[in-house]
Amino acid sequence: ISDTQVVREVVSQVIQANAQAVADYKAGKTQSLTFLIGQVMKATRGRANPRLTSKLLREKLKEG
């Protein structure tokens, strides 16, 4: 899935459902990003574009 809007929605859901991983990432544990990417891939059954997913997750986490 390379549709930015679709991936963005899944990213938002994953961030809301994984507050601890988000807190860990913000505390400097960068491996939490890998976990969150994995959760997006799981939610999309492996169809989300990994590069796009990573980019959108980092943007969303930077926003707060």
0.85 exceeded by the pTM? yes
Distance from C-alpha of 52 to C-alpha of 3, rounded to nearest angstrom? 9
DSSP 18: -
Tell me which residue range forms the domain holding 26: 4-63
Return the CATH number at 13: 1.10.10.410
**Residues 18-54 as b or e (16 or more Cβ within 10 Å = b):** beebbebbeeeeeebbeebbebbbebbeeebbeebbb
pLDDT recorded at residue 56:
97
* pLDDT tens-digit series, residues 26-44: 999 999 999 999 999 999 9
Number of domains composing the chain: 1
Within the chain, which residues score under 70 in pLDDT?
none
